A = this chain, B = another copy of it.
Amino acid sequence: MTADPLGPPLTRRATLSVTLNDVASLANVSPQTVSRAIRNPELVSERTVTRVQWAISTTGYVPNLAASNLASNRSKTIAAIIPTISASVFADALHGLDAVLTPHGYQLFIGATDYSIDREEELIRAFMGRRPDGLFIVGTKHTPAATLLLRKSRIPIVEAWNWTDEPIDNLVGFSNSDAIEAIVEYVVSKGYKHPTFAASLQPGDSRALDRQESFARTVARLLPGEPPRVVDSGTGVIDMDAGVRLLDIALKRHPETDVLMFASDIFAAGALLECRRRGISVPGDLAITGFGDFEISRHLLPTLTTVAVPNVEIGTRAGELLIARMSGIGEESEMVDLGFSVVARESA
């Protein structure tokens, strides 16, 4: 028996949900017209748009963007790759990015590398499978394979935060080295002679490395003969506990320190509060500086001298660049230096 007595073969399992065709037949128009009524209503007569909208709401239709993506080759999606979600600086940047993209109908895919460029490469690979229309990525140091993937991708890319002279495409950021240089210059101008830099260097965090090297260079230039004192908690964790630990190490190893310069306000805040607890007067016995100008810094007692960095603006500028490129307005890669500013307060 080759004939099939059981009727037509089972079709594959469909999604069971309302499709464009259902809407079209209810509205008595072609599927194409429904598609147009949704995406370019100005091309469709008002009467038809109304009828289609009625059909959409009575059926509860929700367009399947995967199908749209496949057919149109545009995903209305932006991939964002950051070191970690739970660091406020990156969260702020994402917030800025999201605020710019949302009105244009773009949605954000977010991935965290945990400061590993290998993990970053994996993420890029996975994200490319979703065919984003644009990509935002923190940092300019990638694996060779990742760089290649990005170059070949033919989508607009914004590298953010770090400065470099050879971005893959667009760049939005500021110079970490210049920022450190500026605050070292500031403390030296205030008469401090024995600065110590305190950071938590984690393999892969090139921004932290930049800052440390810049510190050494600037000290060598401004305070000849002075050794470039650096303390490092080594774990890569950025929290107040680490700040306390760094304070301990610095006091023990470099008791001559007159200004302790932290690579993050978080460290500085932890250390400053600990100083008060121990009765170390700030800036009398020891001056302290931070980096980032977090909100806490202007509330601390004494208020914290630090460097303000344009977190949110990095996100918004990046978003604007992406939007411009995706709508075909800008063609050229841009490099945007958003700068920084030394915020002189009481702690140094």
Among residues of B, the one whose C-beta sits closest to the C-beta of A97 is B85
Quick one: given A110-B108, A110-B110, A130-B107, are A84 and B73 in contact (CB under 8 Å)?
A: no
> In the complex the two chains form, is B296's CB within 8 Å of A274's CB?
no
A79-111 near B? 1/0 per residue, CB < 8 Å: 000001110100110110010000001011111
> In the complex the two chains form, is B91's CB within 8 Å of A107's CB?
no
A296-308 near B? 1/0 per residue, CB < 8 Å: 1001110000000
Q: Determine which residue in A13, A67, A130, A152 has the highest number of CB atoms from chain B within 10 A of its CB, and name it.
A: A130
Instruction: Provide the residues of chain B in CB contact with A270, threshold 8 Å.
Output: 299
Among residues of B, the one whose C-beta sits closest to the C-beta of A114 is B99
> In the complex the two chains form, is B131's CB within 8 Å of A66's CB?
yes
> In the complex the two chains form, is A108's CB within 8 Å of B107's CB?
no
Instruction: Provide the residues of chain B in CB contact with A91, threshold 8 Å.
Output: 85-86, 88, 91
> In the complex the two chains form, is B73's CB within 8 Å of A70's CB?
no
A59-84 near B? 1/0 per residue, CB < 8 Å: 01011111101100101000000001
A112-128 near B? 1/0 per residue, CB < 8 Å: 10000000000001111
A267-280 near B? 1/0 per residue, CB < 8 Å: 00110011011000
Q: Which of chain A's residues 216-242 have a Cβ closer than 8 Å to chain B?
A: 239-241
Instruction: Provide the residues of chain B in CB contact with A95, threshold 8 Å.
Output: 84-86, 112
> In the complex the two chains form, is B295's CB within 8 Å of A240's CB?
yes
Q: How far is the CB of A224 from chain B (nearest CB, A)?
A: 37
Q: Give Cα A17–Cα B105 distance, bound, in whole angstroms.
A: 25
Asked if A11 is an interface residue, CB under 8 A from chain B, the answer is no
How many copies of the shown chain assemble into the complex? 2
A178-219 near B? 1/0 per residue, CB < 8 Å: 000000000000000000000000000000000000000000
Q: Give Cα A269–Cα B299 distance, bound, in whole angstroms.
A: 9
Quick one: given A94-B85, A107-B130, A108-B110, are A269 and B296 in contact (CB under 8 Å)?
A: yes
Asked if A15 is an interface residue, CB under 8 A from chain B, the answer is yes
Q: Give Cα A91–Cα B110 distance, bound, in whole angstroms.
A: 12
Among residues of B, the one whose C-beta sits closest to the C-beta of A66 is B69
* Residue contacts A-B, CB under 8 angstroms, 29 given: A14-B73, A62-B128, A62-B129, A63-B129, A64-B129, A65-B129, A65-B131, A66-B67, A66-B75, A85-B98, A86-B91, A86-B92, A86-B94, A88-B91, A98-B110, A107-B109, A107-B111, A107-B130, A108-B109, A109-B110, A239-B295, A240-B296, A240-B299, A269-B299, A270-B299, A273-B300, A273-B301, A276-B301, A296-B296
Chain A residues within 8 Å of B, Cβ to Cβ: 13-16, 60, 62-67, 69-70, 73, 75, 84-86, 88, 91-92, 94-95, 98, 105, 107-112, 125-131, 149, 152, 154, 239-241, 244, 269-270, 273-274, 276-277, 295-296, 299-301
Besides the contacts A16-B154, A240-B295, what 15 more A-B pairs have beta carbons closer than 8 Å? A60-B152, A62-B128, A64-B70, A64-B129, A66-B69, A85-B91, A85-B94, A85-B95, A98-B110, A98-B111, A105-B126, A107-B130, A269-B296, A273-B299, A273-B301
Closest 7 CB pairs of A and B: A66-B69, A65-B129, A86-B91, A86-B95, A273-B299, A66-B70, A240-B299
